[in-house]
Structure 1
Amino acid sequence: MRAAIYFTPSKNDPLTLRAAEWLGRDAFDDRIVRDPDPKIDVLVSEPVRYGFHATLKAPFRLADGTTLNDLDRELAAFAQRTQAVALGTLAVTRLDSFFALTVQTAHPRLLQFEEAIRITFEPFRAPLTEQEAARRNPQNLSERQKANLSRWGYPYVGQDFRFHMTLTNSIVDEDEAAQVAKRLHSQFNPILETPVVIDALALFVELEPRAPFYVHSRHPLQSGMPSQGLEP
């Protein structure tokens, strides 16, 4: 079993509904929400398994002596003392070779938020195995990302953290990428004028290797003006 700490909007949020329609699956109840569409399904085989989300602490096996209930309780307590993070509007973006929804402006507090989550929940993470580390293709990482992988089990933290909500697999063909971009803009642009707020933290769970992740729990953050800092 692996757990992950993600942001995902509420089950009935228009963004969640649009994303589930695109991916074909609702991670809240592990429900298929549309008929198979080979042209889309081949594009979303990885993001559909993880569910619609933004990574805040990447999937990890639980450390010895910890349980899912322990993690869930600590996540609930963290959410109760942490304020929501306003992101502004999102946009369909091509990151490297895949498409995602991303923030349009820099948010220093978002980096503080990621850091606080990463540090607070590190005691729950079991060390990576050699096989798990190898799957991150360390030969393609920068030295800082390799150090992140060794220290935190994930290369894209701290200065390398990028808020994104993945929508496709890697797409290397430029003509295909242009066609996919048009479909994504058509799917998401009607709702992207609405600002997004990280208003809750979700605990996602993968029961066994390659099983789909599902929403185990979702804990609301405190509303109101952002605080000046976050204490892990």
Structure 2
Amino acid sequence: MTATPPRYAIYFAPSADSALWRFGSGALGYDAITGGDLPHAVPPGCEGLDWAALTAEPRRYGFHATLKAPFELSDGRSEGALRAFARNYVAGRAPVELAGLAVNALGHFVALTPAEPSEALQHFAFDVVQAFEPFRAPLSEADLARRLQSPLTPAHRAYLEAFGYPYVGDAFRFHMTLTGALPQDLISPVKTALSSAHAQAVPPGEVVLDRIAIFKQADRASRFTLLDSLPFG
């Protein structure tokens, strides 16, 4: 089998010592810092479910919010250059404050989303997409075909062609995924259970996006792991 090149992603991932990181990583059963499994923090009321199966897809990526979706490096770009650029990028950047996070259902999966809309967050996310674009190799035919399996609006299609991902710019929605796609009858009870668990585990109040993270996937069969966590300023 031909080896696939590594992929990188620019995420928001909270600091490793935060309650938010512990909650999200526990829900997924995976620590992207160590690359190892964690005991699943199954929310009360969901003990009878196959929680490992319900979280298998997001576990591959680690707990995060996508800013720039996974990409292979473009010709002439190296991992070292990407990391150096990221360090320079965060040097003069100010944090983005959110009015908290809430557990919501997005279609068939459950995720943490901002409690209130944030124009600053939208601008920041699109700035990341554009700033790191020179490092992104064009999508392969297979990756493009996979993306086109989802119904896309003309605007989504334009974003896909320009940035390799359809959900950027005004189509971006900040979310930190907690489950994979759920059967219809499980969406509401799992959302309720995770909402209660989140309220108990993470102190209420503002969430500050004070860093970006570079995650790396060694090959397409591997999970993503944290390469760098880069605080702003």
TM-score, structure 2 as length reference:
0.91
Question: How does 1:109-128 map onto structure 2 within 5 Å?
Answer: 109-128=120-139
Aligned equivalent of 2:32 = 27
Counterparts in 2 of 1:112 and 1:28: CA distance versus 1, 3 Å = same
Choose from 163, 176, 179 the match for 2:186. 176
In structure 2, what residue type is equivalent to 1:8?
Answer: A
Choose from 156, 162, 170 the match for 1:145. 156
**1:72 is aligned to 2:119:** no
Q: How far is 1:53 from its partner?
A: 0.3
* Cα distance in 2, alignment partners of residues 139 and 25 from structure 1: 28
In structure 1, what residue type is equivalent to 2:58?
Answer: P
Aligned residues: 221
Aligned equivalent of 1:8 = 13
Q: Which runs of 5+ in 2 are unaligned?
A: 1-5, 43-48
Q: Is the 8 A contact 1:56 1:114 kept in 2?
A: yes
Aligned equivalent of 1:229 = none
Secondary structure, aligned partner of 1:29:
coil
In structure 1, what residue type is equivalent to 2:64?
Answer: H
Secondary structure, aligned partner of 2:54:
coil
* Cα distance in 1, alignment partners of residues 227 and 186 from structure 2: 35
Aligned equivalent of 1:162 = 173
Q: Is the 8 A contact 1:89 1:192 kept in 2?
A: no
Q: Is the 8 A contact 1:23 1:48 kept in 2?
A: yes
* Cα distance in 1, alignment partners of residues 189 and 126 from structure 2: 36
* Cα distance in 2, alignment partners of residues 116 and 34 from structure 1: 36
* Cα distance in 2, alignment partners of residues 179 and 104 from structure 1: 20
Q: Which runs of 5+ in 1 are unaligned?
A: 223-232
Choose from 102, 108, 113 the match for 2:113. 102
In structure 2, what residue type is equivalent to 1:85?
Answer: V
* Cα distance in 1, alignment partners of residues 178 and 27 from structure 2: 8
Q: What do the CA deviations read for 1:159-218 (whole angstroms, capped 9, x no partner)?
A: 100000011111242x21122113212321122513211111100000001310010001
Question: How does 1:179-198 map onto structure 2 within 5 Å?
Answer: 179-190=189-200, 191=202, 193-198=204-209
In structure 2, what residue type is equivalent to 1:97?
Answer: H
In structure 2, what residue type is equivalent to 1:185?
Answer: S
In structure 2, what residue type is equivalent to 1:178?
Answer: S
Q: Is the 8 A contact 1:89 1:196 kept in 2?
A: yes
Q: Is the 8 A contact 2:27 2:40 kept in 1?
A: no
Question: How does 1:82-97 map onto structure 2 within 5 Å?
Answer: 82-97=93-108
- Computed over aligned residues only, the root mean square deviation of the Cα atoms, in angstroms, reads 1.5
